[in-house]
Structure 1
Amino acid sequence: MTRTRTAALVAIAVAAATALAGCTGNAGGTAGGSTGGNSGGGQEITELKAGVFLDVTSWDPAIADIGFDGPYMSAVYDPLVALDNSGKPVPALATKWEWSADRLTLTADLRTGVTFEDGQKFDAAAAVANIDHLKKGVRSGQAYLNVSGATAKDEDTIEIKLTKRDDSLLYFMGLGRSWMASPAAIAAGSLANGPVGSGPYTFDKANSAPQSQYVFTKKADHWDTATYPFPSVKLFPITDQTASFNAMLSGQLNMQFANAANLAKAKENGWNVASKPSSWVGVQFADRTGAQVKALGEQKVRQAISYAFDSAGILQAVGNGSGTATNQLWPVDGGVYDKSMDTKYKTDMAKAKSLLAEAGYADGFSVKMPMSPIFQAWQPAANQTFGELGIKVEWVDMAMPDYQKNAPTYPMFLAVIAMSGNDMATLSDQVTTAQWYNPNPSVDKFPEVKALVDEVEKADEGAAQTELLKKLNTKLVDLAWWSVWYQADNTYFSVKGIKVQPVTGMMFPTLRFIQRG
């Protein structure tokens, strides 16, 4: 089965946009209002005015995107499960839960006294209706691949049954796959027209305009009111980052999805800066078994490609230095990442050429690779590096919307892939489960990898599982499972008085992670 990380292609577009810092043009919307100024004015900020980069995908939680829809969804919906600052699942509408001994049944107690905006009561029946809806969702279904169904045990208790153990289920639910909507709105199919939730804010549709601004007013009696400090929230989808930065300078925004190229100016203005790993950048080997291009089935060939690229140089030149040069894709601030492994493929063209020769490809080989305008910033480095190795690349141009569909049909391609903040979700997303960017996981073709994966999936959560993941990470780096150049950070600017807690896995954090401070 396929897990579709819809944030992945968005991550590509965002990374390209932030890399090309000189771009200009019309904003996605006009950020109206100027209260608060560009420094917070030394006063308590009563209105959050956030430049969120993209317009809302859909008000239907089954269709919404995890990446950039978080602030919109979190204003109007409550989740069953939330995440804390470290990405650990914490209670929300589900007040507590317990796994069965075999990890195939999750029993959750639900919060009482919660009502949707249309007057419908939130209870076990409502939760089950939502889980059924989310499980069928084209996007939300990725969280429920191993869920067979949910049932109401009583009015405020549900059971979720799994077909196989899934240690990432609660994480994905907390990441943005358990927003609860009115069952009546789900049944009517009306959520595309507007949200019907129980969240901390009321959507002010009259003063909102698609692709321009979205206005929300805080409810006085929300059960989690302390988590949401701002009486008013305005979200402005401004894709052009020059326009977004200018809106920050003028006071039209007091928080934004930022371009790291503007870091020095942000510090000059006394703004808060928050960053966290969001995606990995490099070469994805879709054909690591050599079915399409025999050379790529050779470990030494993949290793040669990894040795050849100047990862640190590419990070500085294209990524504005906003990230960490590494050959690993478990987050650099997590427990599986091993800093000592980053010297494994220290740039060494002589070593790369020697490995190619040992593998029988001293003169290189030919390969077709896809290219889209959003990847052109990385193309010169790729051309130079492959050229020095004697690898003859025929670039096949295509439009951005076609890249996600077509890129994985090629044996290898330039990639910017969204990362997860949960170690087992990383294993699933990046290694074991078919994704658009990894259509042929190939784990069964590598016995040592398969054995380690099996051990990890059977291990108890915690230190034992982490140690096994470290062993697996070491093996994958040695096999050059990918050619990772660096982990790119997402960066956010905010005026004094507003602090942002970035979350790996969310391209833009939900409102619970934007606080006074």
Structure 2
Amino acid sequence: MKKALIAVALASVTALALSACGSGGSDTASTTGAAGGPLNIGNFADVTSWDPSLADVGFAGPYLSAVYDPLIAVDGAGTPVPALATSWKVSDDYKKVTLDLRTGVTFSDGEKFDAAAAVKSLEYLKQGARSGEAYRSVEKFVAVDDKTVEIDLKERDDTLLYFMGIGRSYMMAPKAIAAGTLAKKPVGSGPYTLDSTSVAGSEYHFTKVKKHWDAKEFPFDPLAVYPIQDATARDNAMLSGQINVNYADDTALKQAKENGWNVAAKVSGWVGLQFTDRAGTKFKPLGDERVRQALNYAFDGASILKSVGSGAGKVSNQVFPAGLPGNVESLNSLYAYNVSKAKSLLAEAGYADGFELHMPMSQVFQVWQPVVDQTFKQLGITVTWDDMQYMDYQKNAPTYPMFVAFLSMDANPVATVQRMINLPQWYNPTPEIDQFPDVQAAVQKVLTAAPSAQAAQIEALNTLVTQKAWFSVWYQANNSYTSTSNIQVTPVVGMMFPTLRQIAAK
């Protein structure tokens, strides 16, 4: 899924953005009659598309949630909550989800939102190049009556509601879908509409919808979103009062402390080495568990987090987010930094003198390159870096046995199981779990367990793959946001930038 790519490129770029600390910032207060006053967001990335089937949900939250309503949203913990779907029921065999829909809602073009419109959007999303992942298990959508939609599944799918909630259930006007114009002109039922004064790639202004069905959740007026990739420019915009919510780097966090602004942070992605050939099919050393374990012991995650990540994150050697279901705190001591242990394991595996390999490198990952060079040198490993432009990294990196990665994480633990372990992704095109019967069996136990027993099965799987050194995770990095004192941001693991539902007036 492209969202993971966004985490790789953009979060790492943000981590690199160093700027001088300023002072004298303004604390933008309410200047209108609206309960929340103005909301001016400094986002890292531009909207990828106004078409929800094509949009990347990573940084698209503020943009898409302004103009579209979802069937299902998520709360701060990433738990699905009602939106246009007021409630839902999952059948006893987990293969049917029945949604009850809100009535009295219209799209900005005047069309009525009902079950038929919902099915039209859902079918469109299922075919989407990016949105389709959410609906891979869906057999069909059925409009039972005007306010009821049935989702029939080919197999149980515990990620469906979560994916719908993080940005894959935005409802679009049927006529706009048919016209094929959504990429440039969004037509939804959201709390705002895109204003004609917007300048693509520079600034987006939104007009508040009168009598929106959920107006209390969207108190801000006016609303603007500014895509500002350069951290220094974004920090200066916060100081000058142009924006009052900032996707924060280290300098922005210092500015917040000096100005009494709010800070919100939560882990967003893991940093380390992604292995793509754990069976050793193309690169024999990685097929030995002891080699992979050695590459866990050899990296000092705490030092890397402090020196490269500015301490903004959690030291961890697992891919399940810290503090969320599936994460096993005791595993974080499994690979305590120990170069001697790493060398011993390599020797046991027959690589006392190390080995040679090629790895890809791109500018956005160069901040971690010296760490890898130094660590590999201690182990006798010789790496040849193949330099490439970042846009080629996604295509080429998975063809190497391992590569430096910053991959986004999910709040839903089953989504982590599917994306990180079980199903092909751009960063893991051949999971090869069939080469590891114990892992394959553990995955199946997760996917078939009763809800009351699933957490224990997920923790067991996490323990197994961590012991087998499925990855070499150095730390989990934060996404941070600063906001003026009258605004509170709630980060959500799984979203690089939260939706407007997670930005509230204090």
TM-score by length of 1: 0.95
Does the CA contact (< 8 Å) of 2:439 and 2:464 recur in 1?
A: yes
Structure 1 segment 66-465 matched on structure 2, within 5 A = 66-205=57-196, 207-462=197-452, 464-465=453-454
Q: Which residue of 2 aligns with 1:512?
A: 501
Question: Which amino acid in 2 is paired with 1:227?
Answer: E
Cα deviation for residue 79 of structure 1 reads 0.3
Deviation, 1:262, is 3.5
**SS of residue paired to 2:9:** helix
- 2:465 equivalent among 460, 465, 476: 476
Kept in 2, the 8 Å contact 1:59–1:73? The answer is yes
The letter of the residue matching 1:406 is: N
Alpha-carbon spacing, 1:495–1:392, altered in 2? closer, same or farther (3 Å): same
* Structure 1 unaligned blocks of 5 or more: 25-36
Shift of 1:84: 1.3
**Given that residues 7 and 67 in structure 1 are in contact (C-alpha distance below 8 angstroms), is that contact kept between their aligned partners in structure 2?**
yes
Distance 1:19 1:508 in 2: 15
Listed one character per residue, the Cα deviations across residues 380-409 of structure 1 (whole Å, up to 9, x for unaligned) are 000010111111111111100010111001
User: Residue 104 of structure 2: SS of its match in structure 1?
Assistant: coil
Does structure 1 residue 21 correspond to structure 2 residue 11? no
2:12·2:406 contact (CA, 8 Å) conserved in 1? no
By how many angstroms is 1:99 displaced? 1.3
Output one character per residue of 1:270-308: Cα deviation in whole Å (capped at 9) or x when no partner.
110000111110000000000111010000000001100
- CA distance in 1: counterparts of 2:15 and 2:181, whole angstroms: 39
Q: Deviations over 1:313-345 (max 9, x none)?
A: 111111111101100110102122122111111
8 A Cα contact 1:302 1:483, kept in partner:
yes
Q: Are 2:486 and 1:490 aligned?
A: no
Task: State the alpha-carbon separation in 1 of the partners of residues 77 and 183 from structure 2.
Answer: 32
- What's the TM-score, normalizing by structure 2? 0.97
Within 1, Cα distance between the matches of 2:286 and 2:399?
Answer: 14
The AA in structure 1 aligned to 2:121 is: N
- Which residue does the alignment assign to 2:40? 49
- The CA deviation string for residues 417-444 of structure 1, in whole angstroms up to 9 with x for no partner, is 0111111111111111100001111211
Partners in 2 of 1:21 and 1:238 — Cα distance? 12
User: What does residue range 33-48 of structure 1 map to in structure 2 within 5 Å?
Assistant: 38-41=26-29, 45-48=36-39
Mapped to 1, the partners of 2:83 and 2:387 lie a distance apart of 46
Report if the CA contact (8 A) 1:261-1:320 is conserved: no
- 1:431, 1:332 → 2: CA distance? 18
Aligned counterparts of 2:217 and 2:224: Cα–Cα separation in 1: 17
Name which of structure 1's ranges 372-381 and 332-341 shifts more when overlaid on structure 2.
Answer: 332-341
Percent same amino acid among aligned pairs? 55
- Aligned to 1:319, the other structure's residue is in SS state coil
Structure 2 distance, partners of 1:45, 1:223, is: 17
Structure 2: how far apart are the matches of 1:73 and 1:294?
46
Alignment length (residue pairs): 499
Distance in 2, matches of 1:319 and 1:54, equals 20
* Equivalent position of 1:33 in the other structure: none
Q: Which runs of 5+ in 2 are unaligned?
A: none
Report the secondary structure of 1:117's partner residue: coil
Determine the structure 1 residue equivalent to 2:492. 503
Give the residue type in structure 1 aligned to 2:451. Answer: E
**How big is the shift at 1:265?**
2.6
